[in-house]
Amino acid sequence: MRPIRASHCAVCNSCFLRRDHHCPWLGTCIALSNYKYFVLFLTHTFLLGVYDAILCIIHLARCWRDQTWGKSWYSWTALVVSTIGAGFVGNLLYLHVWLMRQNVTTKEVIDERYEKLSTPNPFAK
């Protein structure tokens, strides 16, 4: 008999308890056993993007002060890439924090599992 909230991943060809989704970045399923590590991965990736953007801004401020604009093209490129990357990862992190607060998985939200019921999420605390 299948446990409640367990699902099968066709990519991994395995069953997981409280499977959230299959992550192509990590090449594995995000489920109950590794969900906190996935959120930590997103948090650290987001913070790294913000840190990189701050360092680029500091470097650009020094180039502006010293009037050495010719050496700053790579900082502009890194600033744009890190800001866009941090924006995407930040949105993904926000989504997963919201999912944790609602006590639902990505799969349950996509399937609209609890919106079709007259009662709220039975797993909410």
Q: Are 63 and 89 within 8 A, CB to CB?
A: no
Amino acid in position 54: I
Of 32, 12, 35, nearest to 22 by C-alpha is 12
**What are the helix (H) ranges across 1-125?**
35-66, 73-102, 106-110
> Which residues have CB under 8 Å from 35's CB, separation 6+?
18, 20
Catalytic residues: 23
